């Protein structure tokens, strides 16, 4: 007969999961139970608080739609996404590539293809800027023909997925770098924006007295055969929240400034940013994206 108090319930649960055939699932679930129980014991979680937690998790799940992933947002504001990212960055690389940043909930597969020098601002307009640079390996050797996805808010602080008709793609594009790894494209300067504040995660952030803003940034995803997929973002140094990102995505090496005085700017007269990306060699473990197209996670209902 199991007579379990608050101290031995943990071992009883782990014992009941001991026959899990997949050793990794067993390892993860055992650790999850140990840490979850340690949390509940540390704060002496009451039944009322437990019930609030159940209601919160339920609300987060029910806020997910094909165009919104509230659990990724929760992971982001709790720093879990950044932590998983940081651990992934530190593994399996022979040399150091460009630092990564969060994929976030707004990536979409099959963005419109644009030619080098084209613009990703198809619908919305605003002050134009140019992003250009070169993709190389850690030794500085050009990576030819890398594929680059870029996506960002418009000058209104909104992604296309947040527009009235989220099926229209805008402020995102897919381009192919040239044989020397060079790229350049036009866009409008994004502005910082709050995370979606109308759901349970926004409620939590409000109750925590956090501003809820991300600094202005441009997401970049680069892939090329033989190299680890790079998921990163460039952050604008003139944004007031560049030091207090609500989802902890900023690294110093990813902060940029648009300038008019760059001698090799490909489109003179427009504020420009030069950023050179470094891809690290593919390791055995393969690439991994912290985040995903929400339509691949939420049921279509």
The token duo for 149 is 């996805």
List all residues 6 or more positions away from 198 whose beta carbon is below 8 Å from its beta carbon: none
- Cβ-based nearer residue to a copy of itself, 16 or 125: 16
Does residue 6 bind a copy of itself (CB under 8 A)?
Answer: yes
Among 148, 177, 218, 298, binds a copy of itself (CB under 8 A): 298
Say how many C-beta atoms besides its own lie within 10 A of residue 25's C-beta: 11
Residues within window 139-178 making contact with a copy of itself, judged by CB under 8 A: none
- Least Å distance, CB 119 to a copy of itself, is 30
Handedness of CA 98, 226, 174, 166 (dihedral sign): negative
Does residue 283 bind a copy of itself (CB under 8 A)?
Answer: no
Half-sphere exposure of 127 (CA within 13 A, CB side): 9
Part in contact with a copy of itself (CB under 8 A); list of ranges 33-41, 128-136, 155-163, 273-281: 33-41
How many residues does this entry show for the chain? 301
Chain centroid to Cα 97, Å, comes to 17
- Least Å distance, CB 215 to a copy of itself, is 11
- Cβ-based nearer residue to a copy of itself, 125 or 244: 244
Pairwise CA distance, residues 197 & 14, whole Å? 38
C-alpha dihedral, 200 to 201 to 203 to 209, nearest 10°: 170
Does residue 75 bind a copy of itself (CB under 8 A)?
Answer: yes
Residues within window 45-74 making contact with a copy of itself, judged by CB under 8 A: 45-51, 54-55, 57-62, 64, 69, 71-72
Contact 270, 129 (CB under 8 A): yes
Pairwise CA distance, residues 140 & 12, whole Å? 55
Residues within window 200-259 making contact with a copy of itself, judged by CB under 8 A: 204, 207-210, 242-246, 248, 250-253, 255
- Cβ-based nearer residue to a copy of itself, 118 or 288: 288
- Least Å distance, CB 219 to a copy of itself, is 16
- Least Å distance, CB 289 to a copy of itself, is 6
Closest CA relative to residue 77, chosen from 207, 292, 246, 249? 246
Residues within window 88-117 making contact with a copy of itself, judged by CB under 8 A: 88, 90-91
- Least Å distance, CB 128 to a copy of itself, is 27
Q: Are strands 230-236 and 217-223 parallel, antiparallel or unpaired?
A: antiparallel
C-alpha dihedral, 43 to 48 to 49 to 52, nearest 10°: 170
- Cβ-based nearer residue to a copy of itself, 173 or 202: 202
- Cβ-based nearer residue to a copy of itself, 10 or 187: 10
Does residue 44 bind a copy of itself (CB under 8 A)?
Answer: yes
């Amino acid at each position: 007969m199991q007579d379990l108090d608050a101290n031995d319930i943990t071992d009883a649960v782990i014992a009941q999961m001991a026959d899990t055939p997949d050793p990794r699932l067993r390892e993860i679930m055992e650790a999850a139970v140990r840490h979850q129980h340690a949390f509940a014991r540390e704060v002496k979680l009451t039944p009322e608080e437990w019930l609030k937690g159940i209601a919160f998790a339920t609300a987060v799940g029910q806020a997910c739609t094909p165009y919104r992933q509230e659990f990724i947002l929760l992971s982001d504001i709790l720093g879990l996404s950044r932590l998983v990212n940081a651990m992934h960055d530190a593994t399996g690389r022979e040399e150091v590539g460009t630092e990564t940043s969060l994929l976030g909930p707004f990536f979409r597969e099959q963005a419109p293809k644009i030619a080098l020098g084209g613009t990703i601002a198809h619908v919305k307009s605003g002050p134009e800027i140019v992003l250009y640079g070169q993709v190389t390996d850690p030794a500085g050797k050009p990576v030819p023909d890398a594929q680059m996805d870029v996506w960002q808010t418009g000058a209104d602080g909104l992604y296309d997925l947040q527009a009235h008709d989220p099926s229209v793609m805008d402020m995102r594009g897919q381009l192919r770098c040239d044989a020397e790894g060079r790229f350049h494209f036009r866009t409008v300067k994004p502005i910082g924006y709050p995370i979606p504040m109308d759901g349970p995660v926004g409620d939590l952030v409000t109750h925590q007295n956090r501003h809820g803003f991300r600094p202005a940034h441009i997401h970049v995803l680069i892939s090329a055969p033989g190299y680890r997929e790079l998921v990163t973002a460039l952050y604008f140094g003139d944004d007031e929240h560049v030091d207090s990102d609500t989802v902890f995505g900023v690294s110093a090496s990813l902060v940029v400034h648009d300038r008019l005085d760059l001698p090799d700017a490909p489109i003179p007269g427009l504020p420009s940013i030069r950023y050179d990306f470094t891809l690290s060699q593919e390791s055995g473990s393969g690439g991994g994206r912290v985040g995903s197209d929400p339509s691949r996670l939420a049921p279509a209902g």
